[in-house]
A and B are shown apart, each in its own frame.
Chain A
Amino acid sequence: MTTAGWAIMIVSVGSVLVLAAFCLVRVLTLPPAEVSEHFKAPLDIDTGDTRNAD
């Protein structure tokens, strides 16, 4: 194996490892997905029974 061969192998494998590791670490350390969009807060719910109160 020539010096150039070693250099290309190390740079290729190294750069792919860095890319994959960077992405996976970013994905795995993300905060948990918000679930608030599925629910409405109590004050947002229009039950209709407060209209024309009194």
Chain B
Amino acid sequence: MSNGSGKGKEQWGSQLGVIMAVAGSAVGLGNFLRFPGQAAQNGGGAFMLPYFAALIFLGIPMCWAEWTMGRYGGIKGFNSAPGIFLAIWPHKLARYFGALALLIPLVIYMYYVLIEAWCLGYAYDYLVGNFDKIEPTVAAYSNHFNEFVGNNANGFLYEGGNNSLITMLLIVFILNFTLIYRGISRGIEKFCNVAMPIMALCAICVLIRVLTLGTPDPAKPENNLINGLGSMWNPNTEYLWKPDTWLAAAGQIFFSISAGFGIIINYASYLKKKDDVALSSLTACGVNEFFEVCLGGLITLPAAFIFLGTSATLMGTFGLGFNALPNVFAMMPAGRLFGFIWFFMLFLAAITSSLSMLQPVIAFFEEGLGLRRHASVTFLGLVAALGTGFVLYFSKGMVALDTFDFWVGTFLIYVLAMFQTVLYGWIFGIERGEEELHAGAHIRVPRVLQYVLKYVSPIYLFAIFGAFCYQSLGGRVKSILDDSVTSAATLFILVVFAFLLLLTHIAGRRWEREGRLPSR
């Protein structure tokens, strides 16, 4: 295996391997915790209409576009977004947009690895029986959660005696970087091939438990399984006339499938010229939807409703996952076992996602700066540890985490996704796009998809982004000016971005010198 520059090039070991890796990247906490909450708060079953519309017109087409551009860039000898964008659009601006595709996974990793450590910590607590000591009320679990994540004071987790989260964090950090160091085929692919079936098995175990709960408390006959399913699926059609419902549905699809993260484009670049992208992309989307609709939609909210009633439908992602569900497991027969299975599954879902956030940056350090694997892993480890340490220190009210999540994990993802959609539809071109998509394809994608990608997806995306900015931007800008932690977190993001822009500039000069860039 070799690339144009003569260096050994990494490749996926099998087609199923790359599908599992991309699906693993997409399946995360959002599938099990965010999706049910969004559905319940936006019309229940009625939410599924805008949800599937967004999947068909935004999610699946964007994934096809990213897979196609990623493989194309890989054939041209690039695995990092700055290089791939340059291969498609030989303009200096392209590589700086590529820096966005490095910033997004890197900064998301900085706080996502922390949430991963929460899941591992909860799984461990269930395993050794620590949760048996907590009074089974939402308030008690909320107190435990606040103490565990340092929600009450900044710097709390750095004080002596509060280091259980730091221990978990060290474990997941080491695990992530060990797997990344082993590379695409021997690290990420092997791990995802094992982790994805285990995740599905764990989720099915919990699903069977939930679907056989019946009416656990005879004193509250209304809190039963059928009503629990109703809390998730009964449609309230009034919500279909609210723009917020359509915005929430598109946002859920968009974040769930990992489009615009800079990850799919990197993973697809390790494919060979004749490897299929059309079926692989659709399969990864299908697997992600299976975890979200079939498992997340049937487990989380019905289980919470059966034990906690209608109040469960109003909880946010973290409230539902880390306060309500432990309370549910405490009241459920064999709850300790199912609590362990549930949080271990969430931990696996999180680690398959966090691995995918490291690889795009590693690829850039190696091909852009010429670093060898051990140097690039060490360098990335230091940068990531700095950001995670920042979020860990400013833990009060999760302000730093929330700021990172809003500006990078939401706002910039929209920006990158819009750029990629325009890049595919208007620069790469739908004629070339269709030809590339079908090279080695095992399914035929209708031609109308190309027109969807050129016209419908960008308009859909720009409309959602406009509504999102109108709804959220004012308050967020104000909080930067008013709150010192928010402004420090925003400054941190800007410094990391400036650093990546500089590195991208250096990489571009290097590629020019080596004659690797296509002529304009």
Q: Which residues of A are interface residues toward B (Cβ below 8 A)? A: 1-2, 4-6, 8-9, 12-13, 15-17, 19-20, 22-24, 26-28, 30, 33, 37
Query: Do B289 and A19 have beta carbons less than 8 Å apart?
Result: yes
Distance in Å from the Cβ of B498 to the closest Cβ of chain A? 42
Residue of chain A at shortest CB distance from B49: A8
Interface members, chain B 42-63 (any A CB < 8 Å): 44-46, 48, 52
Neighbour of B283 across the interface among A4, A6, A23, CB < 8 A: A23
Residue of A4, A16, A33 touching B234 (CB-CB under 8 A): A4
Q: Given A1-B226, A5-B45, A12-B48, are A20 and B233 also a contact pair (CB < 8 Å)?
A: no
Are the CB atoms of A13 and B294 closer together than 8 Å? yes
Question: Which residue among A4, A9, A22, A24 has the maximum number of chain B CB atoms within 10 Å of its CB?
Answer: A9
Expressed in whole angstroms, the Cα–Cα distance for A33 and B17 within the complex equals: 13
CB-nearest residue of chain A to B47: A8
Given contacts A12-B293, A16-B286, A16-B289, contact A26 B443 (CB under 8 A): yes
B233 touches A1 (CB 8 A): yes
Q: B47-84 interface mask toward A, CB cutoff 8 Å, 1 = contact, 0 = none?
A: 01000100000000000000000000000000000000
Question: Given the complex, which residues of B lie within 8 Å of A27, measured CB to CB?
Answer: 15-16, 19, 279-280, 283, 442
Task: Report yes or no: A30 in contact with B15, Cβ–Cβ below 8 A.
Answer: yes
Interface residues in chain B, defined as those with a beta carbon under 8 Å from any beta carbon in chain A: 14-16, 19, 44-46, 48, 52, 226-227, 229-230, 232-235, 274, 279-280, 282-283, 285-287, 289-290, 293-294, 297-298, 442-443
Docked Cα-Cα span, A25 to B35, in Å, equals: 26
CB pair B234 A17 closer than 8 Å: no
> Are B16 and A26 in touch, CB under 8 angstroms?
no
Chain A residue numbers with a CB within 8 Å of B15 are: 27, 30, 33
- Do B230 and A1 have beta carbons less than 8 Å apart? yes
Residues of A within 8 A of B282 (CB): 19, 23
| A4 to B227 alpha-carbon distance, docked (Å) | 13
Across the interface, do B279 and A9 meet the contact criterion of CB distance under 8 Å? Answer: no
* Pair A2/B286 contact, Cβ less than 8 Å: no
Does B234 contact A5, Cβ atoms closer than 8 Å? yes
B234 touches A20 (CB 8 A): no
Contacts of B283 in A (CB 8 A): 20, 23-24, 26-27
Partner of B279, one of A12, A17, A26, A37: A26
Contact assessment for A1 and B16 in the assembled complex, using a CB-CB cutoff below 8 Å? no
A residues in contact with B274, CB < 8 Å: 37
**Pairwise interchain contact A20-B287, C-beta atoms closer than 8 A:** yes
Closest partner residue, chain B, to A23 (CB atom): B283
- Kindly state the separation between the CA atoms of A40 and B421 in the bound complex, as whole angstroms: 40
A1-B233, A9-B45, A26-B442 known; A16+B294 contact, CB < 8 A:
yes
- Considering the complex, give the chain A residue whose CB is closest to the CB of B293: A16
A-B contact pairs, 6 of them (CB 8 A): A1-B227, A12-B48, A17-B290, A19-B286, A26-B443, A27-B19
A5→B295 CA distance, assembly (Å): 17
Partner of B235 from the list A5, A16, A23 (CB cut-off 8 Å) is A5
Chain A residues within 8 Å of B45, by CB: 4-5, 8-9, 12
Once the chains bind, are A24 and B297 in contact (CB under 8 Å)?
Answer: no
Which residues of chain B are within 8 angstroms of A5 by Cβ–Cβ distance?
44-45, 229-230, 233-235
Report the minimal beta-carbon distance from A49 to chain B, rounded to whole angstroms: 26
- Could you say which residues of chain B place their CB within 8 Å of the CB of A19? 282, 285-286, 289
State whether A13 and B235 are in contact (beta carbons under 8 Å apart), knowing that A1-B227, A19-B289, A26-B442 are contacts in the complex: no
Residues of B within 8 A of A20 (CB): 283, 286-287, 289-290
Nearest-neighbor residue (CB-CB) of B234 within chain A: A5
Report Cα–Cα, A49/B287, bound state, in Å.
55
User: How far is the CB of A33 from the nearest CB of chain B, in Å?
Assistant: 7
Given A5-B233, A6-B233, A27-B283, check contact A12 B297 (CB 8 Å): yes
Which of the residues A4, A9, A16 comes within 8 Å of B290, measured between beta carbons?
A16
Nearest Cβ distance between residue B234 and chain A, in whole angstroms?
4
A1 to B233, CA, bound (A): 8
What CA separation (Å) do A12 and B283 show in the bound complex? Answer: 17
Report Cα–Cα, A28/B19, bound state, in Å: 11
Give the interface centre of A2, A8, A22 by most chain B CB atoms within 10 Å.
A8
Residues of A within 8 A of B48 (CB): 8, 12
Q: Which B residues are CB-close (under 8 A) to A22?
A: 286
Most-contacted residue by chain B among A5, A6, A16, A33 (CB, 10 A)? A16
Q: Given the complex of chains A and B, what is the CA–CA distance between A8 and B39 in angstroms?
A: 12
A13 with B280: in contact, given A4-B234, A5-B229, A33-B15 (CB under 8 Å)?
no
